[in-house]
Amino acid sequence: MGMATERIFFFSGSLGRRLLGVLYRPDSPVPGGTGIVYCHPFTEEHNMSHTAMVKVCRALSGIGYPVLRFDMSGCGDSEGELTEVEIPSWMEDLDAAVEALRAETGARHAALLGLRLGGGLALLRAQEDPAVPFLVLWEPVLDFALYIRQFMRRAIASEIVGSAGGGTTVAGLEKDLADRGEVNVIGYPITRALFDSFLAVSRRPVQQSPRCPVLVLSISQGDRPSFALGAYRDMLEGAGAEVSFDHIQAEPFWDRYWRWECPEAATRTVRWAADIGRRG
């Protein structure tokens, strides 16, 4: 594996916010001028997956891809608050990240690696940009409306664990959102604008097949993909997409504070990306 350098820098994202970027620059880049932008998950999943995905970014850089890992607006070390952003903000941030990767490395093309919500955002960008050379999607969120409602359920789960009989329901939280404009879910302020932007996207990630090669990794402790991911695989194969789909039976590290890596998924991704890189 080649040596890479790592550089932290800031670049301008949506509404001119300063976004933190970490650039992993390989010593010997793959031919073809392709780099990779990593799109991170939402809230706790972002926090818990950090270490694992840093390792993946380094591993991809090790086989010759310049990789940009960045924090979207209102997340991590980037400017802004969660109360100020919506899905379109993050799509603009992703556009800015692609440009930052090009400016910093001279890469002509930006492939996308996305984990969970980041995978859904990557799919949306690939729909808009036919120049995306490939996609790597780890347990991607394919239905944004369902996802944000499932996230809201965490408030219910907190009550269950606390044995509190608060009677919180997602419908009640949605009413609170309509009445007050914001609700708190496990410590995260979810605004009506952010919530509505998830609903507005809904199932758009799956409404078009990617035009580029795509690696989809289903990651769970079960012995099969979720119904939704299995259906997505069937849709892609039926549409004749160039898709590689694997189910990896492993703990979902983005939900586990005791899991710092997913070596099976990392190895599969690096091998697949290396094959793509050899095609030139």
In angstroms, rounded to a whole number, what is the distance separating the alpha carbons of residues 251 and 25?
A: 30
Residue in 130, 227, 238, 280 binding other proteins, rule: CB under 8 A: 227
Phi/psi for 92 (5° steps) reads -65, -40
Residue in 248, 256, 264, 274 binding other proteins, rule: CB under 8 A: 256
Structure tokens at 12: 């301008």
262 contacts: CB under 8 Å, gap ≥ 6: 52, 219, 248, 250, 251, 253
Residues 106-165 that bind other proteins (CB under 8 A): 150, 153-154, 156-165
> Is residue 169 within the footprint of other proteins (CB under 8 A)?
yes
3-state helix, strand, coil in the chain (%, to 5): 45, 20, 30
Structure tokens at 132: 């995306």
> Is residue 187 within the footprint of other proteins (CB under 8 A)?
no
Residue in 54, 145, 170, 206 binding other proteins, rule: CB under 8 A: 170
In angstroms, rounded to a whole number, what is the distance separating the alpha carbons of residues 64 and 24?
A: 10
Side-chain-facing half-sphere of 272: CA atoms under 13 Å: 23
Of 12 and 220, nearer to other proteins (C-beta) is 220
Give the count of beta carbons closer than 10 Å to the beta carbon of residue 233.
18
**Residue window 72-101: x/- pattern of binding to other proteins, with contact defined by CB under 8 A:** ------------------------------
Compute the least distance from the CB of residue 72 to other proteins, in Å.
Answer: 22
Question: For other proteins, which stretch binds (CB under 8 A), given 17-25, 35-43, 251-259, 266-274?
Answer: 251-259
Question: For other proteins, which stretch binds (CB under 8 A), given 130-138, 218-226, 233-241, 260-268?
Answer: 218-226
In angstroms, rounded to a whole number, what is the distance separating the alpha carbons of residues 86 and 191?
A: 9
In angstroms, rounded to a whole number, what is the distance separating the alpha carbons of residues 108 and 66?
A: 11
Question: For other proteins, which stretch binds (CB under 8 A), given 31-39, 61-69, 126-134, 252-260?
Answer: 252-260
Find out whether 191 and 173 touch, Cβ atoms under 8 Å: no
Residue in 3, 178, 186, 200 binding other proteins, rule: CB under 8 A: 186
Compute the least distance from the CB of residue 269 to other proteins, in Å.
Answer: 22
Beta bridge pairs of residue 138: 115, 217
Reference 75, options 101, 106, 40, 107; nearest CA is 40
In angstroms, rounded to a whole number, what is the distance separating the alpha carbons of residues 88 and 54?
A: 25
Compute the least distance from the CB of residue 76 to other proteins, in Å.
Answer: 20
Of 238 and 258, nearer to other proteins (C-beta) is 258
Of 8 and 227, nearer to other proteins (C-beta) is 227
In angstroms, rounded to a whole number, what is the distance separating the alpha carbons of residues 35 and 23?
A: 10
Question: For other proteins, which stretch binds (CB under 8 A), given 65-73, 118-126, 168-176, 198-206?
Answer: 168-176
Compute the least distance from the CB of residue 165 to other proteins, in Å.
Answer: 7
Question: For other proteins, which stretch binds (CB under 8 A), given 29-37, 67-75, 92-100, 166-174?
Answer: 166-174
Footprint of other proteins on this chain (CB under 8 A)?
A: 44, 150, 153-154, 156-165, 167-172, 186, 220-222, 226-228, 251-252, 255-256, 258-259
